[in-house]
Amino acid sequence: MTKHLRICYLILATLCLFSSCSIRKQRTLFNSPTDQLTDTIKQVYVVNDQGISDAYYKIKVNDQLAIRNVQNFEFGASVPGSAAAGPGSSILSYTVDLEGFVTLPAIGKVEVVGLTRREAALKIQEIYKQKLLKDPIIELTVVNLKVTLLGEFGKQGNFLLERDNTTLIDIIGEAGGITKTADPKTLKIIRGDRSNPEIIYVNLNDINSLASKKLIMQNNDIVVLQETKGQAISDKLQSANNIIQPLLVVINLAVLIFTITR
């Protein structure tokens, strides 16, 4: 390593050490003024607390309901219908209309708004039993409920909340865990009204964090996990090195030419 390169690295490393927080902040989505708390929280800390949400989701207008009869094989283990739940999916889904009803084959409209998934399934099951099927067992899923994982997870993207009481750890497990470069103290959940969200900070290093009811996932939660400060500095140094190395080659060549022709 040349003298010039060593000097450049020394200057750059010093600058990085003094600006490690700002470097990591620049690389993280959805920064908040309260993010500095992540270096001190021991378990779970909530900003703009909106209280504990219902553990059991209540069906709302425009929800997409996937409905199957898992008992009566005469219907191919599914209630007949026409709306696919998604590309390549064999599960059928039905939209809850503006009046709170879902329209199902053979039995027509059923009011489901305000019911939990289990309550709606039992209601639909009873109606099918009275009108059409013998001893049906109805399975109901709200297929549009999701959370979004961003940052240092094994896999980023949208993950469906297929059952009630899905926890943060369930979702992290589904995503393949966290990466080797993740900082477990920086996990952040953004929840609720986007103009005035509740922010939940979680220290994954402390097992007692798992007891918090705030870690029951809610529809449209955004979960963000940052990389470590050391990784942020390393990435910054690598980026700088990619710029410095070509410059040093040019400088050394110029010095060599000057020395030879002097």
DSSP 175: T
70 contacts 124 by C-beta, under 8 angstroms: no
3-class DSSP state of 179? coil
Of the listed ranges 18-27, 42-51, 79-88, the least confidently predicted one is 79-88
Q: Where are the domains of the chain?
A: 34-54+145-228, 64-142
Report whether CATH 3.30.1950.10 matches the domain 64-142. Answer: yes
Report residue 259's pLDDT band, with 50, 70 and 90 as the boundaries: confident
Name residues whose C-beta falls within 8 Å of residue 122's C-beta, 6 or more positions apart in sequence.
138
Rounded Cα distance between 125 and 130, Å, is: 9
Q: What is the pLDDT of residue 15?
A: 52
Q: What is the pLDDT of residue 88?
A: 40
Distance spanning both ends of the chain, measured CA to CA: 25
> Which pair of structure tokens corresponds to residue 170?
């369930």
Nearest CA to 117 out of 173, 68, 190 is that of 68
Query: Is it the case that residue 241 has pLDDT exceeding 90?
Result: no
Q: What are 53-100's pLDDT values in tens digits?
A: 877 899 999 999 999 888 755 543 444 443 434 444 456 789 999 999
Q: What is the CATH topology of the domain spanning 34-54+145-228?
A: Outer membrane lipoprotein wza fold like (3.10.560)
